């Protein structure tokens, strides 16, 4: 594996690969890697001749009171894991390389950035879209891999790619979970033993929502009420939001119908965790993705 810290060097290598006809698969991450990240890497390896992973904790997507400084950083371990997975290039720039002094150009995807995460983390998706656009320009991937755990992020990136005519295919991959259902996340490192047990309430409440819909419930109000109750009953948990929205527009819907997303964000101790249930409707009935 070859590691780059300079954008110009990474870009030169990528342009060389592209003009040599190699397909490039790209996995952007903020590091502190776990099996969720590695599942994206494996998929990228299967589908491309060359795999590039970036590790960059992006200050632009953290709010002033958020965990940017405390976010887990394990560069040596990350590099070792990526090497073992057969990644060809690691791009791990220092902050000044991505945001030199007096940086002032940002990408904003307007409507789909506003609700849900956007409401609780103003400016978050502007930071995400900007860094992803920069990384796409540096790495020049044919395909880029994202996890459905961050469902709104996938919607924002897909829209940016479509509306700015970026020549990259966005591949959304399933959520990787612990055996008890908790979605893997670098922020799970913040949980102590008791909080770790409490964190199961996210998955548990989404399973309950699935069960309700399976039994015929379609009303948003009833589904949201049930999830709220489960989370309120968990002493370590504090709900930021739960919603039932259209999976592509993220607009609220009154009933489950067609492609529907049920995302939630819950504080467990000092960790803010997110998860979601995706429901798809086809000729043969409803499909659930948890
Ligand atoms: P992050 O390092 O948190 O920015 O995540 C980098 C990428 O890994 C994003 O596309 C995430 O959606 C994805 N990811 C994080 N956790 C998981 C998970 N448990 N399962 C699948 N993908 C994940």
Locate the domains of the chain by residue range: 2-173, 186-284
pLDDT at 283 over 90: no
Is 282's pLDDT higher than 90? Answer: no
Confidence of residue 177 (pLDDT cuts 50, 70, 90): very high
At residue 253's C-alpha, the angle toward residues 248 and 259, to 5°, is: 40
Q: Is pLDDT above 90 for 224? A: yes
Tokens matching residue 111: 């409507």
- In this prediction, residue 59 carries a pLDDT of 98
Do residues 14 and 140 make contact, with C-beta atoms less than 8 angstroms apart? yes
* Any atom of ligand 1 within 6 Å of the Cβ of 156: no
Confidence of residue 95 (pLDDT cuts 50, 70, 90): very high
Indicate whether residue 61 lines ligand 1 (CB < 6 A): no
Give me Rg for the CA atoms of the chain: 19
Give the per-residue pLDDT at 61: 98
> Rounded CA gap, 275 and 264, in Å?
6
Closest Cα to atom 7, ligand 1: which residue? 29
Q: Is the CB of 30 under 6 A from ligand 1?
A: yes
- What ligand 1 atom has the least distance to the C-alpha of 150? 12
Indicate if ligand 1 lies below 6 Å from the C-beta of 144.
no
219 CA to centre of ligand 1 in angstroms:
30
Q: Is the pLDDT of residue 190 over 90?
A: yes
Burial class (CB in 10 A: 0-12, 13-18, 19+), 221: exposed
Ligand 1 binding pocket mutation candidate from 26, 32, 33, 40 (most atoms within 8 A of CB): 40
Q: Does the pLDDT value for residue 284 go beyond 90?
A: no
- In this structure, whether the domain defined by 186-284 belongs to CATH 3.30.1300.10 is answered with yes
The pLDDT tens digits of the residues spanning 51-88 come to 999 999 999 999 999 999 999 999 999 999 999 999 99
Q: What is the pLDDT of residues 156-169, one digit of tens each?
A: 999 999 999 999 99
Same topology, domains 2-173 and 186-284? Answer is: no
Q: 82 alpha carbon to ligand 1 midpoint, in Å?
A: 15
Q: What is the mean pLDDT of the chain?
A: 98
**What does the pLDDT average to over 28-49?**
98
Residue 78 CB–ligand 1 contact under 6 Å: no
Locate the ligand 1 atom nearest the alpha carbon of residue 183 and give its number: 19
Does residue 53 have its Cβ closer than 6 Å to ligand 1? no
Average pLDDT over residues 82-98: 98
Catalytic positions, please? 37
Buried b / exposed e over 51-80, threshold 16 CB at 10 Å, is: bbbbbbbbebbbeeeeeeeebeeeeeebbe
Whole-number percent of the chain with pLDDT over 70: 100
CB-based contacts of 55: which residues, under 8 Å, 6+ apart?
29, 30, 31, 33, 75, 78, 90, 91, 92
Q: How many angstroms does the Cα of residue 183 sit away from the middle of ligand 1?
A: 9
What CATH code would you report for 2-173? 3.40.50.620
Cβ(55) to ligand 1 under 6 A? no
In this predicted structure, the answer to whether residue 208 has a pLDDT above a threshold of 90 is: yes
Ligand 1: centre distance to CA 283 (Å): 31
Question: Ligand 1 centre from 85 Cα, in Å?
Answer: 16
Please state the rounded mean pLDDT for residues 120-149. Answer: 98
């Amino acid at each position: 594996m070859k590691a780059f810290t300079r954008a110009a060097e990474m870009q030169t290598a990528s342009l060389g690969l592209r003009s040599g006809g190699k397909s490039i698969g790209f996995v952007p991450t903020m590091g502190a890697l776990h099996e969720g990240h590695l599942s994206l890497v494996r998929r990228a390896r299967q589908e491309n001749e060359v795999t590039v992973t970036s590790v960059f904790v992006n200050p632009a997507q953290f709010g002033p009171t958020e965990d940017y400084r405390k976010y887990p950083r394990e560069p040596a371990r990350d590099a070792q894991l990526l090497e073992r997975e057969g990644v060809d290039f690691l791009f791990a720039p220092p902050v000044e390389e991505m945001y030199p002094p007096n940086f002032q150009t940002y990408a904003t995807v307007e409507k789909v950035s506003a609700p849900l995460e956007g409401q609780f983390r103003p400016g978050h998706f502007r930071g995400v879209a900007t860094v992803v656009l920069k990384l796409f320009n540096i790495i020049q991937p044919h395909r880029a891999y994202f996890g459905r755990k961050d469902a709104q992020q996938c919607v924002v990136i897909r829209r940016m790619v479509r509306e700015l005519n970026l020549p990259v295919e966005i591949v959304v991959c399933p959520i990787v979970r612990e055996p008890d259902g908790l979605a893997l996340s670098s922020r799970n490192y913040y949980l102590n033993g008791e909080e770790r047990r409490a964190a199961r309430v996210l998955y548990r409440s989404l399973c309950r929502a699935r069960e309700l819909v399976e039994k015929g419930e379609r009303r948003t109000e009833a589904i949201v009420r049930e999830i709220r109750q489960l989370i309120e009953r968990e002493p370590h948990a504090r709900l930021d939001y739960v919603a039932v929205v259209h999976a592509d527009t993220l607009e609220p819907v009154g009933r489950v119908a067609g492609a529907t997303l049920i995302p939630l964000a819950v504080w467990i101790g000092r960790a803010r965790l997110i998860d979601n249930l995706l429901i798809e409707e086809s000729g043969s009935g409803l499909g659930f993705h948890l």
